[in-house]
Amino acid sequence: VVQLVEVGGGSVQTGGSLTLSCDASGWRYSSYCMGWFRQAPGKEREAVAHIDSDGGLEYADAVKGRFTISKDIAPNRLYLQMKNLKPEDTAVYYCAADDGPERGEPDMRGLRSIICGYDNWGQGTQVTVSS
């Protein structure tokens, strides 16, 4: 089981910046998925950004160009840099991980892409953006 601890939430005004970090420990495998999710009051949890050990990077359309996900190896820490924050970014942000994700069927090049199934979650950190 991967243990995840997020820090860095807080309150900012529209247009401000925050950086979230997530310390991860307890890895068993070299391949991984890590991501940030968020849940606003009354809404379902949604994916924000993703990074994996194959070098894959993905962002939700709502945060593209404003948020950047990155990962350090030592310490094993995931980051989410958030710029030009908007009130609609207000939510509890969660760090998530998949240790040793499955891989799909080979493509025409024989490569098998990572399939992320997040089963390790942090406790969440509140981000509030005021107008």
How confident is the model over 89-119, as pLDDT tens digits? 999 999 999 999 999 999 999 988 999 999 9
First to last CA, the chain: 39
The predicted structure's pLDDT at residue 73: 81
* pLDDT tens string 37-83: 999 999 999 999 999 999 899 999 999 999 999 998 877 899 999 99
Q: How many C-beta atoms surround the C-beta of residue 80 within 10 A?
A: 24
Interatomic CA distance for residues 100 and 114, integer angstroms = 9
Longest pairwise C-alpha distance within the chain: 50
89 exposure class (CB count in 10 Å sphere: 0-12, 13-18, 19+): buried
Q: Are 93 and 6 in contact (CB under 8 A)?
A: yes
Measured CA to CA, the distance from residue 112 to residue 44 in angstroms comes to 30
The predicted pLDDT at position 74 comes to 73
Q: What pLDDT shows up at residue 54?
A: 92
Residue with tokens 């993905």: 58
